Structure 1
């Protein structure tokens, strides 16, 4: 008897499936559903076709949103009402938190503590990046933000500057790593990323296949771990020249790419 194929689909959210007004692209395909606003400006939107496709994906597979957003930022999206149902699993803070039925999973919290034990405490890593940022013009940098005690984020005007090389070296020496995305500098424990948390969900649901989607360097490990994946043509990862034979690239950008990604995942999930 042929083995039954069980599919887990793990996707980034921002600039992959949902987009801000700035990142929406030149063509808005159809009606748009706004999930989040700041000062009246949409910061997270998706088309209603994308929402409908994601709802179908959630019914036919195990769909896991996997985001760099903190738990509070993820909850602020109200993703469940937007697509007609909340996914049972969600990965936040680039793998630092696993939500199960909306609540942080205690078993994963214990696993993360073990992973963090190999490196410097988060307070020490925060102090390290703060010292590096102090060398910059105050007008070009923002404060260091702690996302759920496992991910540090700071906004910097020039995240490609030479000082990042020294920061990366110092972080490596204390068990942390640096990743940049747009104007943000992220510090993560060296042994933690989205793919590690998604692998935990895959084991729990006994999925035989993993599909993935993402746009940034923080999604590279997840895309590499997948059996097949897709990235948007306007993503930072694609712009940096990152390619993999099993990872497709969208034709469209912005909200149109979000629709394309959701449709691609649903069609690929239906293939046995």
Structure 2
């Protein structure tokens, strides 16, 4: 059975702040508020995809954040990669062997992660507590992201870690801990499977590169790997999730 490894936020589900039309269904509730949505079409198509291949959510979200998401009323994915691929969930339960291997993999980055925590704790622009997401990478928010990133670059040895930003969010992540590494590790358990992947951001480039077929927005400017099929989606094509899942199910039906 093939794999559909997909990012979540802005790929399959969307913040309440994003206009995806009115024909939507809630995908996430946080503190009593509906905060994320899917289009009804995407929800229906995703269920069809899940019936014919392994749908594997691949997200930078923590396990706790991931577990807030509901893809359907009667089903949930059997497999998911959380914490940028560092945690494998099997029927909602963390695979201990996978997590141990992840911790071993990122061990060389530990001094830089600890130093990042110290730098961020003293950053006057920080607007959120400094978090070690599932023990694997560092995350916070900043009122002045460029200044915060500059402080980190000045203080850290970046040999084993890299810095990311997403709006007001700041991440310090081990270089070996990325969505592509997670998918390649998962492929070892499904050696005959083709991998289809979808993603929308720089965080997703390793995920896209690890797939046989990659779906991405035109604006991401992902050119692909040798022998790989890349399917780009423009805003004129429609909502990204609808287009990706529509094309994926059309491929299934052939």
Per the normalisation by structure 1, the TM-score is 0.81
Alignment equivalent of 2:210, drawn from 197, 221, 225: 225
Partner of 2:186: 201
| CA–CA distance in structure 2, aligned partners of residues 173 and 40 of structure 1 | 40
| CA–CA distance in structure 2, aligned partners of residues 178 and 137 of structure 1 | 16
Structure 1: which 5+ runs fail to align? 1-5
Partner of 2:130: 144
Partner of 1:97: 87
What value does the CA root-mean-square deviation take over the aligned residues?
A: 2.6
The change in CA–CA distance for 1:177 and 1:229 in structure 2 (over 3 A counts) is same
State the Cα deviation string for residues 112-168 of structure 1 (Å, max 9, x = none): 1210222225xx625424414634445xx3221222111221112343x15524524
Once the two structures are superposed, the pairs formed by residues 168-247 of structure 1 within 5 Å of their partners are 168=153, 170-173=155-158, 175-232=160-217, 238=219, 242-245=221-224, 246-247=229-230
| CA–CA distance in structure 2, aligned partners of residues 171 and 8 of structure 1 | 37
State the Cα deviation string for residues 173-226 of structure 1 (Å, max 9, x = none): 462221112221112112111111112222212243211111121111011121
Partner of 1:48: 40
Alignment equivalent of 1:9, drawn from 4, 8, 11: 4
Per the normalisation by structure 2, the TM-score is 0.86
The change in CA–CA distance for 1:109 and 1:80 in structure 2 (over 3 A counts) is farther
Partner of 2:141: 155
The change in CA–CA distance for 1:265 and 1:35 in structure 2 (over 3 A counts) is same
- Of the two structures, which has the highest relative contact order with CA contacts closer than 8 Å and spacing of 6 or more? 1
Structure 2: which 5+ runs fail to align? none
| CA–CA distance in structure 2, aligned partners of residues 10 and 45 of structure 1 | 19
Partner of 1:3: none
| CA–CA distance in structure 1, aligned partners of residues 30 and 129 of structure 2 | 19
Are the counterparts in 2 of residues 21 and 41 from structure 1 also a CA contact under 8 Å?
A: no
The change in CA–CA distance for 1:153 and 1:53 in structure 2 (over 3 A counts) is same
| CA–CA distance in structure 2, aligned partners of residues 134 and 226 of structure 1 | 40
The change in CA–CA distance for 1:120 and 1:169 in structure 2 (over 3 A counts) is farther
Partner of 1:260: 243
